[in-house]
Amino acid sequence: MNLSLGSRERRSAAGFSLLEVILALAILGGALAVLGRIIQIGVRTARESRGRVAAQLQCQSILAEIACGLRPPEPTAPAPVEYPDPEYDWMYTVEAEPTEMDGVLAVRVTVYENRPLETGPIRVSLVQWIVDPQFEAEMAGAEEEATGDTAESGTMQGEANANPGTEGSAASPGGSNSGGSR
């Protein structure tokens, strides 16, 4: 009897039982499922982060064009971005509102992914204050008008000063009164 017990113990110690194998496979399957979900979340987050950076660059590009005068700061309906991105389908809008300061506009550019709202499209908005081009033109016109009036009165005054001075002096035809001969 002792011999038969010893042989049973030796057989069970030599390998795993079916229950142990099934339990190990279940644990491995659960761990793989959790790791797969973590990788899926990581990939989605990386795509979203890359998209946010791309959208922010598009916003900055459009704002730079508006600030340097290549594009008017006028409200626009949703339009596709001029420089397409192979991974994203971007649309943009521009809104311009006056601020509390005279001659300054708050320009908001919104770039968003052209996807249904249920899928959670990426959306980025940037605001930049710029000088209103109409205000700038009015100020330039006012400065020209002010300098034009000053220039006209200055030339009239210069002509009046030039006439009395010519009566008492003798000018040579060469333009100099040095008196020397060559």
pLDDT digits (tens, 9 = 90+) for 150-160: 655 555 555 55
Q: How many residues does the chain have?
A: 182
Predicted structure pTM score: 0.59
Q: What is the pLDDT of residues 93-123, one digit of tens each?
A: 999 999 888 889 999 999 999 888 888 889 9
Token pair listed for 87: 């991974």
Q: In the beta sheet, which residues pair with residue 80?
A: 91
Instruction: Give the span between the Cα atoms of 49 and 146, in whole angstroms.
Output: 53
H helical segments located in the chain: 2-14, 18-67, 133-167
**What is the pLDDT averaged over residues 155-174?**
50
Q: What is the pLDDT of residue 135?
A: 83
